[in-house]
Chains A and B, each alone.
Chain A
């Protein structure tokens, strides 16, 4: 904001929101992690994951966000490809993409290193 000056805390939040919206319209937003707090995410926050009702505890916390989960939300990826009973949308690490997670020792830190897989 160049011409008006935000004075109180709420005005500061309005300014941050406007800057975010401007960056979005310019198309220069960075990729955000799934654990990015809802107010920093682009648009409304929807819980991610496929089986909201049957596997509570890692898709969404008791407030509908991801801040209070028992483990990082990025863990979804591994829950899907290792242990999920449902054929999940993750690479088949047994046959076609054995090294898919090779660069990703810790999903929480290294999720950007997960490669795209072209079947």
Chain B
């Protein structure tokens, strides 16, 4: 290894007092500079002297005495030395040969509690959206002719509830999400399962909460009433205004769904007041007007929250988002993010949940070993009771790690946790965004690379840009409205 070039040192100087920049990502807000530390995910605000030291080290390693000499016309010697010491302590600077900091390569404890279970109560859908990962060209399970039953039985659903209560261990709370297919096609089982889960949770002195995702086509006044009365959180899959929705989200005969869902959604939002109703938008090459979609869903339809995610698909599909379009999409995300910040500075709500979720992670300083909780705190259940990593893998034999009746195959689960740990994703080891991204979605990786443990390399630039934007928003709030951030304390 070539020894680093040290500016302005002589042989007599102590090599231990030579400093170089270490792993962090700088960002600014309202003229203040912050460091996002990697891999700890701590955020520190620099004072003038801290900034000057980091700027001086940009060109390469320097000796402490040289730093003092360079900066002594602006800052007192004591202040420079104290700042150097603190920067060293948080590991923003250090010896040029010091080994890189890495998060520990530890596996979670074997009895890690299950927090969320996603039940695929049916794998049937009354729509035929071409981009769908469950039925479209990139599906990983044969949902049409496969062995899985079309509907989850009441018995399997009850076994799933028992599984969740048992696997949640000492945790007082558990969460059950209903998913599909179109969830409401199996409304009778859903109703019975909620009642059963509530009774069983009470017997176990636990609290259980519920949510579901629906395309809204089957909502009826009595179903809406039931959802509201039972405090079931509802997310509606919807892609935007009429031309967009009717072009992508269609019935099997090709008819668009906008006119069908519009009155139902309005009634849902008007009736179900206990939990905010969210919209979940899949962005494709054919619907990329993010601002228009967001405005329509919030201003005209009344959704309180809107989350947008690019379609999961292989790059050659005609609805796959092209690299140029990804840039345009990010630009619009940034515009909405600026709007989110303006609202937050005034202590007002803004429904762009993509920002809200990232800000919460930044505030807590999460440094993830895994891209998400799949296979650990979150599991998916297929219609026959097979337990998989998450709902997106439900029914895929390759990603099944047990059954609700017999429990999780711990060896298989452990192998999954070893293979998918950030320590194994060497591509990520030089990326500053790894504490938050940790390689990304397993399903996205599976569709893109045929390997769920592969890092989502096709999204790297995008994730870094987006994380940087959210860091700037966080910094701006820390400067101008730090009280707003307290809502993420819990």
**A 3-38 contacts with B by CB, 8 A:** 3-11, 13-14, 18
The answer to whether A8 and B43 have CB atoms under 8 Å apart is: yes
The answer to whether B362 and A8 have CB atoms under 8 Å apart is: yes
Given contacts A3-B79, A4-B44, 17 further A-B contacts (CB under 8 A): A2-B86, A3-B86, A4-B47, A4-B83, A5-B44, A5-B47, A6-B44, A7-B45, A7-B474, A7-B478, A8-B362, A9-B363, A9-B364, A9-B489, A11-B365, A14-B40, A63-B109
The answer to whether A10 and B45 have CB atoms under 8 Å apart is: no
The answer to whether B87 and A11 have CB atoms under 8 Å apart is: no
Q: Taking A2-B82, A3-B79 as contacts, is the C-beta distance between A10 and B89 under 8 angstroms?
A: no
Q: Is A116 an interface residue (CB 8 A)?
A: no
Query: A4, A5, A9, A68: which contacts B87 (Cβ < 8 A)?
Result: A4
A residues near B45, Cβ cutoff 8 Å: 4-5, 7
CA distance A54 to B37 in the complex (A): 44
* Interface residue range, chain B: 20 to 34
Q: Is A1 an interface residue (CB 8 A)?
A: yes
Mark contacts of A78-106 with chain B using CB atoms, 8 A cut-off: 1 yes-contact digit, 0 otherwise: 00000000000000000000000000000
Closest to A3 in B: B83
Query: A7, A13, A63: which contacts B44 (Cβ < 8 A)?
Result: A7
A-B interface pairs (CB < 8 A), number: 70
Smallest CB separation, A24 vs chain B (Å): 14
Q: Is A62 an interface residue (CB 8 A)?
A: yes
* 4 A-B pairs with the lowest CB-CB distances in the bound complex, closest first: A10-B365, A11-B42, A5-B45, A10-B42
Q: Is B41 an interface residue (CB 8 A)?
A: yes
The answer to whether B42 and A14 have CB atoms under 8 Å apart is: yes
CA distance A2 to B34 in the complex (A): 16
Smallest CB separation, A17 vs chain B (Å): 9
Q: Taking A3-B86, A62-B111 as contacts, is the C-beta distance between A8 and B364 under 8 angstroms?
A: yes
A residues near B47, Cβ cutoff 8 Å: 3-5
Closest to B47 in A: A3
A residues near B367, Cβ cutoff 8 Å: 10
A residues near B49, Cβ cutoff 8 Å: 3
Closest to B48 in A: A3
The answer to whether B82 and A10 have CB atoms under 8 Å apart is: no
* Interface residue range, chain A: 10 to 19
CA distance A17 to B41 in the complex (A): 15
CA distance A9 to B89 in the complex (A): 17
The answer to whether A8 and B365 have CB atoms under 8 Å apart is: yes
CA distance A11 to B35 in the complex (A): 10
**B 33-69 contacts with A by CB, 8 A:** 34, 37, 40-47, 49-50
B residues near A3, Cβ cutoff 8 Å: 47, 49-50, 79, 82-83, 86
Q: Is B90 an interface residue (CB 8 A)?
A: yes
CA distance A71 to B364 in the complex (A): 32
CA distance A52 to B367 in the complex (A): 33
Q: Taking A3-B47, A62-B111 as contacts, is the C-beta distance between A9 and B365 under 8 angstroms?
A: yes
The listed residue with most B CB atoms (<10 A of its CB), out of A8, A13, A18, is A8
CA distance A5 to B50 in the complex (A): 11
B residues near A68, Cβ cutoff 8 Å: 170
The listed residue with most B CB atoms (<10 A of its CB), out of A1, A5, A7, is A7
The answer to whether B44 and A11 have CB atoms under 8 Å apart is: yes
Smallest CB separation, A96 vs chain B (Å): 43
Closest to A7 in B: B43
Closest to B169 in A: A62
Smallest CB separation, A30 vs chain B (Å): 22
Smallest CB separation, B189 vs chain A (Å): 35
The listed residue with most A CB atoms (<10 A of its CB), out of B37, B40, B42, B478, is B42
